[in-house]
Amino acid sequence: MTDPTPATIWRHLPNALTVLRMALVVPLAWLIREMRYDEAVVVAAIAGLSDALDGFLAKHCGWQSWLGGVLDPIADKLMLVACFVTLGMVGAHPDWLTWLVVGRDAVIVAGAVAWHNLIGRIHAQPTRLSKLTTVVQITYVLAQLLHLSRWFDLPPRLLDGLIWLTAALTIISGLQYVAVWTRKALRVRGAGA
């Protein structure tokens, strides 16, 4: 048995950073629920930096893996859903926005489970629109946390605009996911018939 080389050991760092981001979900949600927004901003910043670093390392060092491709979007979704739910609980935004974001993600997860059970292993392939939606959702959460903290007082119109932009992109990208993956499923099932 050979000893693992340092390069082999380090190639798991992106996945370890993703797991760290998942571990930050509960403390972040708790801080928001307890209205400790200054600390929540710090935890959200650490989560964001770990996300950027794991993506950079995976791409630029060639440390990409199937597991990382699955874990990374799950970590993003867990973080965003927790933030939207707890921000809704403290009255930072309307309940319908929480339900919209959670509903879209529930549809995507249900579709992924159906694909896995009916067709086979799924390979996460976020669309450009989905990536843009995630960026806007993250921007909204960070803006809301900064606004609620003692550090910034953002204009209400800016937050309202972000709410409506987030809602629009969430709906459109959700419909796109359903359309794209339904077409793929029909094509795969048709080819197997």
- The H or E element spanning position 185 is helix 156-192
Provide the whole-model pTM.
0.83
Domain that holds residue 84: 6-192
Residue 33 lies in a domain: yes
d(CA 146, CA 44): 10
Task: List, for residues 62-75, the tens digit of each pLDDT value.
Answer: 666 666 666 788 88
pLDDT at res. 86: 97
For residue 163, being part of any structural domain is answered with yes
pLDDT digit string, tens, across residues 166-192: 999 999 999 998 888 788 877 876 676
| Residue 7, pLDDT score | 57
Is residue 108 within 8 Å of residue 180, measured between CB atoms? no
With respect to residue 1, please indicate whether it lies within any of the assigned structural domains: no
Nearest to 50, CA basis, from 7, 105, 13, 8: 13
How confident is the model over 29-84, as pLDDT tens digits? 999 999 999 999 999 988 888 877 777 767 776 666 666 666 788 888 899 999 99
Domain membership flag for residue 68: yes
Q: Identify the CATH number of the domain in which residue 138 sits.
A: 1.20.120.1760
Say how far residue 86 (Cα) sits from the centre of its chain.
15
Q: Total domain count for the chain?
A: 1
**150 domain-assigned:** yes
Q: Give domain status of residue 124, yes or no.
A: yes
d(CA 77, CA 128): 16
**Assigned token pair, 152:** 């910034």
Name the pLDDT band for 1 (thresholds 50, 70, 90): very low
Q: What percent of the chain has pLDDT over 70?
A: 83
170 part of a folded domain:
yes
**Domain assignment present for 158:** yes
